[in-house]
A and B are shown apart, each in its own frame.
Chain A
Amino acid sequence: MALSTSSAITLNINGEKHTLPVDHRTTLLDALREHLDLTGTKKGCDQGQCGACTVLIDGRRAVSCLQLAIASEGRVITTIEGVADGERLHPVQQAFLDLDGYQCGYCTPGQICSAIAMIEEHAAGWPSAATADVRPEAGAPPLTADEIRERMSGNLCRCGAYVSIVQAVAQAAEAEAAQTPTTARQFSGPSGPGDLAHPAGTTDAEMTA
């Protein structure tokens, strides 16, 4: 029996189910842009090196250029088109607007999707390569500019708008930390609810350091 090299798949994107035929070679990125007209997700390098195509898969950030569409069946996908609450922008979107966290804007959807998930990762107590002591007893590191730069390093900006991007991410993280009591946070991180740690606020000095 010859193997079928295409399938009809159903993708759950931004709360809507889409059924489409795909050649198995189709990446999630191409399915979004070429099949579903969701062109907010951008194609940069198409080889996992720039982050422009970042989306959320089951709440976690991922590059859609290395994710096959057919392997995305059954997963909950959120793209930049799905992060706002109706007309109300997501706090990360608002912060990018407020602080000019972009120049040409091409990397911005990926930056914003990445930042949304990154703020949750940090709130769940995940360390990063910028964290001096990764042991759980050391607690969650403050979300300093160094931490933000390290955690956002998978998103390149060829305009070099990093200074404003770091400030926008810091402002959004601070706003979310102020709004959400630690005990109310839900995150499907592996550390479990017992390991959630309150993210320390980021001071102006740290933001501009």
Chain B
Amino acid sequence: MREFGYQRVFDVPGAVARLGADPDARYLGGGTNLVDLMKAGVERPALLIDVRELPLDGIETTDDGGLRIGATVTNSDLAAHPEVRRRYPALAQAVLAGASGQLRNMATVGGNLLQRTRCGYFADLAKPCNKRVPGSGCPAIEGEHHNHAILGASEHCVAIHPSDMGVALAAFDAVISYETADGPGELPLAEFYLPVGDTPHLETALPSGALITGVTLPPTPVAAVSRYRKVRERASYAFAIGSIAAALDVQDGVVREVRLALGAVASRPWRAQEAERVLTGGPASADAFAAAADAELAAAKTLPHNGYKVTLMRNLVVAMLTELTEEAAR
């Protein structure tokens, strides 16, 4: 591991100014991903700016009835918060489905959004990786890719984003707030992660040096009937091979509003807008759910070893919407 300086910061302007003064610096939150990548030599910061003491650890109801979540709120605190569990249950479930009790106590909301892919080639300095070394190649495409992207990938990178939390945030139209030396800014989650294209090393639209300060969830009544489901290769403490966050409002057998986001299928949490469009105003039936899943997955591009994800995601969409329809009827 490269040697590094360390500085703890106590106010947001101080944090942003400190990072701006050193392009080789990184913000340190819980460190559950960054420290791991530093040990592997993938991340080599010259300075860590520890942001855990910033006054960004609150969860508050906004004036319009949404929720404002501070960037240094831990995963544990987010998932345990009564208003999250009551009004956005799929978000609490998504966070609880991720990592372990220990890691959820350490990891922060801001860090969760910025965590890196778990593609094995990205973490292996002995291998090429366009995300780590632009232009070096992508061995996953002809190599180990059973848990790689089926949507939105490119010939340059097929890595997936590993966050569970982000999938629920995508379903609920979360907005990311940040601070820069030039002042604050906001990015809807839908615009937060950049398309892969030929620049897989550029992952977010955050301006250089920006510090994520929080996440705002707009008031989302449909989220009260929502769920998150995660499929993985062991029962707990593993990354998803496919996941879904869904919310559904059904009246008299008709879909009035639906939210669908898919995880472990793309370089970002994947909002299933095409499926939502097909479903809205139509019947809440198994056939309609399957047709919506097919519409979304029509754009899927599979590799030799990840084609199962199309079937998996189709089944997840149908099962989840069926369950939510039954829950709404109770």
Tell whether A109 is near chain B: CB-to-CB under 8 Å: no
**Chain B residues near A5 (CB-CB < 8 A):** 3-5
CA distance A136 to B85 in the complex (A): 6
B92 adjacent to A48 (CB under 8 Å): no
Interface of A is mostly: loop
B6 adjacent to A129 (CB under 8 Å): no
Binding stretch for chain B, among A34-42, A59-67, A91-99, A178-186: A59-67
CA distance A5 to B31 in the complex (A): 18
- Supposing A51-B100, A134-B96 touch, asked if A71 and B50 sit within 8 A by C-beta, the answer is yes
Cβ contact of A61, chosen from B8, B47, B105, cutoff 8 A: B105
Tell whether B28 is near chain A: CB-to-CB under 8 Å: yes
Tell whether B221 is near chain A: CB-to-CB under 8 Å: no
**Chain A residues near B100 (CB-CB < 8 A):** 51, 153-155
**Chain B residues near A46 (CB-CB < 8 A):** 39
Q: Which residue on chain A has the smallest CB distance to residue B28? A: A71
CA distance A125 to B235 in the complex (A): 22
Q: Which residue on chain A has the smallest CB distance to residue B105? A: A60
B92 adjacent to A127 (CB under 8 Å): yes
A129 adjacent to B97 (CB under 8 Å): yes
CA distance A114 to B8 in the complex (A): 27
Q: Which of A179-202 contact B (CB under 8 A)?
A: 189-191, 195
Q: Which residue on chain B has the smallest CB distance to residue A7? A: B6
Cβ contact of B237, chosen from A25, A153, A190, cutoff 8 A: A153
Q: 1/0 per position for B55-91, CB-CB distance to A under 8 A?
A: 0000100000000000001001101111001100100
**Chain A residues near B50 (CB-CB < 8 A):** 71
A127 adjacent to B102 (CB under 8 Å): no
A24 adjacent to B48 (CB under 8 Å): yes
CA distance A23 to B1 in the complex (A): 11
Q: 1/0 per position for B197-241, CB-CB distance to A under 8 A?
A: 000000000000000000000000000000000100001110000
The size of the chain B interface, using a CB distance under 8 A, is 45
Interface of B is mostly: mixed
CA distance A172 to B287 in the complex (A): 49
The size of the chain A interface, using a CB distance under 8 A, is 49
Cβ contact of B35, chosen from A27, A61, A134, A195, cutoff 8 A: A27
**Chain A residues near B8 (CB-CB < 8 A):** 71
A-B CB contacts (within 8 Å), total count: 133
**Chain B residues near A102 (CB-CB < 8 A):** none
CA distance A118 to B100 in the complex (A): 11
Q: 1/0 per position for A112-145, CB-CB distance to B under 8 A?
A: 0010011001001111110100111100000000
**Chain B residues near A151 (CB-CB < 8 A):** 101
Tell whether A3 is near chain B: CB-to-CB under 8 Å: yes
A54 adjacent to B102 (CB under 8 Å): yes
A66 adjacent to B96 (CB under 8 Å): no
B108 → chain A closest CB, angstroms: 13
**Chain B residues near A124 (CB-CB < 8 A):** 80
Q: Which residue on chain B has the smallest CB distance to residue A23? A: B3
Q: 1/0 per position for A41-59, CB-CB distance to B under 8 A?
A: 0000011100100100100
A24 adjacent to B5 (CB under 8 Å): yes
A24 adjacent to B4 (CB under 8 Å): yes
Tell whether A206 is near chain B: CB-to-CB under 8 Å: no
A134 adjacent to B85 (CB under 8 Å): yes
B84 → chain A closest CB, angstroms: 9
B residues whose Cβ falls under 8 Å from a Cβ of A: 1, 3-6, 8, 28, 30-32, 35-36, 38-39, 46-48, 50, 52, 59, 73, 76-77, 79-82, 85-86, 89, 92-93, 96-97, 99-103, 105-106, 230, 235-237
Chain A to chain B contacts (Cβ below 8 Å), 7 pairs: A3-B47, A7-B6, A62-B102, A63-B32, A63-B106, A134-B92, A190-B59
